[in-house]
Amino acid sequence: MESRKAEKDENEAVETEALLRGQGEIWRLMFGFADSMALKCAVELHLADIIHSYGCPVSLSQIASRIDSDCPHIPYLKRIMRMLVRRGIFTMNDSLDNEETLYGSTQLSRWLLHDSEITLAPMLLSQTFPTQLAPWHFLSQCVKDGGSPYKKANGCEMWDLASRNPEFNRIFNDAMACTAPIMMKAFLSQYKDGFENIQLLVDVGGGTGGALAEIVKANPHIKAINFDLPHVVATAPVRKEVSHVGGNMFEAIPKADAVFMKWILHDWGDEECVKILKNCRKAIPEKTGKVILVDIVIQPDGNSQFGDMDVVFDLLMFAHCKAGKERTEREWKNILEKGGFPRYQIIKIPALTSIIEAYPD
């Protein structure tokens, strides 16, 4: 009897502990948005830039003195900093000896700097922009009755909003541009010989030409065409060896030796992707042409370095694009074959994305 009671007590203790852990995890997931909002606050207040500018740990009053405000509220700032320290964005030496608390930079905070070659600050501001957050509230409604979360939330699709809203267009373009040096560094490190036989390269959906600029810098023999919607290329800066061309990839793509697309096909459904790929097929030489894609390939167990971000991005595509999605290798194979590219290889790179190199024969 005693052994049964002990076993029962042990089982109940295990069950209680499991329920407690489960409760804690749901609380954490429930308030995941608080991390995003704290990061947004840090970027908007330029907290990483301020601390970095001092070159050493600094006090709250020193940080506050450089915030763009006549009377920054230091008690509020202290609470924001406490959260950011807890998340590892900044360091804090909290002393009980009446010494002033000092805050320092970390490897994470460098990604929030505004004027840095590698930064995710513009992407953070884009993803937390009100029109970008609103569609997430419509996921369940779309599961019930279909439709586009973005259109339900904003009355139009994202590309339409960008074409009519200059502020959002700028924020979105800045977000795309900030990822270019990050991803292109990883891309070029693993694709050193990929451009050897290419004289003319077209970047379809190239935004303001940031990715092409990196490619041309590493491969000076290449002349490049940055191809995107007219309102996008209208804001593109002049870049050496890069021509900006406005147009519609669903109608025609400029002729070139190869087509490059970074984070483009995930914005579209299978039918649209096949149409784009068929236009790519028409734009390149029959024997020597190829398509170079930089996109996510969903892994069965996630990415070792980036965890579950592949499926998080899939939900992001669901929220922001009418039929956009991330794809498994099988799904990539399907649209590539239908688009006229039966042969392909996947090259892994030190990034969230992979290289998918596809050929027409």
Active-site positions read 266
Contacts of 60 (CB under 8 A, 6+ apart): 74, 77, 78, 81, 101, 103
d(CA 265, CA 326): 9
Question: Are 60 and 78 in contact, with CB atoms under 8 Å apart?
Answer: yes
State how far the alpha carbon of 246 is from the alpha carbons of 68, 127, 158, 233, in Å: 38, 26, 18, 6
Q: How many residues does the chain have?
A: 361
Nearest one of 83, 1, 6 to 39, comparing CA atoms: 83
- Say if strands 327-328 and 297-298 run parallel, antiparallel, or are unpaired: parallel
